[in-house]
Amino acid sequence: MCLFPLELCISENSSEKHCPLCNSVQVFDEEGNDVTPQPLHQGESGAGPPKSSLGLHQTEEKNKTYTEICKNRPGNEKYTERSAQTLHPQNKHKLTQSDSVTTTETGEAQRRHHRDSATSSMRDLEVCVSEAEVQSLLSGDTLLHSLMVMERSLVANTLQDKLAAYRLLPVLPAPQTSPEASGPALVHLWSFSCDLTLGRRVNSLVWNKNNPDLLAVGYGASESSSSAGLICCWSLKNPTWPERVVPCDSPVTALDFSVKSPCQLAVGMEDGTVMICSVHSPQSNTSVLHSRACPHKHVAPVLQVKWTLQDVGLRDDKDEALVSAATDGRICKWFVSNNGLDCTDMMKLKRVKSAKKLSTEKTTDTKPENILSALTPGMCVHFHPKESGVYLVGTWEGLIHKCSSSNTQQYMDTYKKHFGPVLGVSYSPLCPGVFLSCSSDWTVQLWTEERLTPALSLSSGHRAVLAVQWSPKAAAVFGAVSETGLEIWDLQSSILDPLVALAAPPSLSLTSLLFTSHTDCALVGDSGGRVCVYLLRDVYGTEGPQVIIIIIIHFICTALYISEKSQR
């Protein structure tokens, strides 16, 4: 139905009325009745125009399909509606400035046979780097220090279990190894040796007083060189190669580090020279003082050098002095002069001859008649651990003289028992009134200062005992070295047989012995240039009973001395 007024839909002189908006046509008769034809299908008011039957059928099929899809979709997917807001960052404009690219055109002209010839690609590089520059780089301090640190790290990694056992740290047992047998034993850890020391005799061993990981070793002549000696300073940080190497003109026979200046090393040589060198400097020819220009120098091999503290006037402090003993029969005290080293005689070891045999008892009123014929060679010297002015000297005659640095003419006492040269004497560090001596007569004698005869006589072999030393950790333990082997004695266990014995390697002989003060180890030098480090396993017992044993021996000897003196 048209909603506009009829006047708008009726045109003039026409029986048809048109609606401009609904585009519908109505037909009226002359009387004004609506005779417009009606459609065949009359729908409801407000309904849309009828649709074709084919479109209606397709729509119904789609609706059924969609209904089935909606029935099956619940549970298959989960949808969540969320809202998000996208940020649109603002654009930034930056400017950069760069240098212009420079291009160069080059060309090369050559003959055909030059282009085809074979050339080395490294020729230009070899020309650019000279041999001097290469050597300067290889010998630079930075590179050498880096190589040293790397070498120490590799050696420490390789010898980790050995170094841990040396420092008494717990060591994990290796897999698939049987447990070690219990009881005292000497366990070899490693050896200080290199190509420079092979074939040389080890004559002296000494620890640094300030750094207990630094060891100085004096070597004799090698088979190829009949006169040159060698000094090597070994460090536990690298047991495979020495930290310092000092060549010497003569075989080295004695060494000792200074107490106040730990870098100064005193050296005694076979030609009678006494030398002081500094091991702090890598150069072996720097900071060296020697006695070659001294008019009073030794004229025979120096067998012992010792740094000792001496009283100076009325002052409480003490100065350090260097003392040497040589086979020319003189004990000398050394000091620095303009020409190097100069010396004064502390004692001349006079050879004693008498009609009677030298008495073994200490007497004060009667003495045998002495005839001073010559000087006897001094083989060894050792200072008292408490009284720095008192020292013992072992001689070629088999006598042990007790001397004082304040008396250069007479002996304080003379101990006699050995029938051969006294090769070593050693005060006990834990009981200063007791000392040991060894000799080429195959024996080790235990002495007390108050008695001129030995308290104990120990012997287990048929070879000369070359060195003897008390252990710094146990009062009753000491070691003795002969050419055939090493013996560790424990007076608490037995005074007849050594606690542990170690045979020398085939075709080699042992020459020197040194204990460690901070670990349970001992160092042994041989004639082949090796210094072997041994762990003393289950050797040290309780320190208390050992000290008591030494004190008892000391008191027994003192009582015997008092009894003998009262009987006279």
Per-residue pLDDT for 208 more than 90?
Answer: yes
At 363, which amino acid appears? T
Confidence band (pLDDT; 50, 70, 90) for 84? confident
SS3 category, 120: coil
Per-residue pLDDT for 437 more than 90?
Answer: yes
Mean pLDDT, rounded, for 397-425:
91
Confidence band (pLDDT; 50, 70, 90) for 486? very high
The encoded tokens of residue 363 equal 């007497």
Per-residue pLDDT for 415 more than 90?
Answer: yes
Alpha carbon distance 286, 291 (integer Å): 16
Ordered by start, the domain boundaries in the chain are 1-28
Q: In what order do the strands lie in the sheet with 485-490?
A: 465-470, 477-482, 485-490, 500-503
What does the pLDDT read at residue 2? 45
Alpha carbon distance 331, 349 (integer Å): 8
Q: Which residue has the tokens 């045999």?
A: 357
Beta-carbon contacts of residue 469 (< 8 Å; ≥ 6 apart): 424, 426, 436, 478, 479, 513, 514, 515
Confidence band (pLDDT; 50, 70, 90) for 127? low
332 or 355, which is more confident? 332
Residue 175: DSSP 8-state:
T
Of the candidates 511, 447, 514, 433, the residue with the CA atom closest to the CA atom of residue 479: 514
What does the pLDDT read at residue 491? 86
| pLDDT digit string, tens, across residues 447-476 | 988 888 898 899 878 889 999 999 998 888
Q: What angle do CA 414, 419, 423 make, to 5 degrees?
A: 75
Mean pLDDT, rounded, for 504-522:
92
What string of H, E and C letters represents the secondary structure of 299-322?
A: CCCEEEEEEEEEECCCCCCEEEEE
Alpha carbon distance 417, 397 (integer Å): 10
Please say whether the beta carbons of 344 and 361 come within 8 A.
Answer: no
Per-residue pLDDT for 110 more than 50?
Answer: yes
Alpha carbon distance 418, 327 (integer Å): 18
Per-residue pLDDT for 558 more than 50?
Answer: yes
71 or 129, which is more confident? 71
Of the candidates 161, 185, 216, the residue with the CA atom closest to the CA atom of residue 521: 185
Alpha carbon distance 523, 205 (integer Å): 8
Burial class (CB in 10 A: 0-12, 13-18, 19+), 439: buried
| pLDDT digit string, tens, across residues 257-282 | 999 989 999 999 999 999 999 888 77
From residue 356, give the alpha-carbon distance in Å to each of 228, 353, 359, 402, 551: 45, 9, 8, 21, 34
Alpha carbon distance 383, 392 (integer Å): 6
At 144, which amino acid appears? L
Residue 503: DSSP 8-state:
E
From residue 329, give the alpha-carbon distance in Å to each of 76, 121, 373, 374, 378: 114, 72, 12, 9, 5
Pairing state between β 202-207 and 185-192: unpaired
The encoded tokens of residue 331 equal 């004990």
Tally the C-alpha atoms within 13 A of residue 233's C-alpha that lie toward its C-beta.
Answer: 27
Backbone angles phi, psi at 253, to 5 degrees: -115, -20
Beta-carbon contacts of residue 30 (< 8 Å; ≥ 6 apart): 15
At 215, which amino acid appears? L
What does the pLDDT read at residue 276? 93
At 20, which amino acid appears? P
Burial class (CB in 10 A: 0-12, 13-18, 19+), 298: buried
At 375, which amino acid appears? L
The encoded tokens of residue 388 equal 């720095």
SS3 category, 146: helix
Alpha carbon distance 534, 521 (integer Å): 5
Confidence band (pLDDT; 50, 70, 90) for 339? confident
The encoded tokens of residue 445 equal 């004698």
The encoded tokens of residue 268 equal 């005694």
Helices and strands in the chain: count of H runs, count of E runs: 8, 32
Backbone angles phi, psi at 116, to 5 degrees: -90, -10
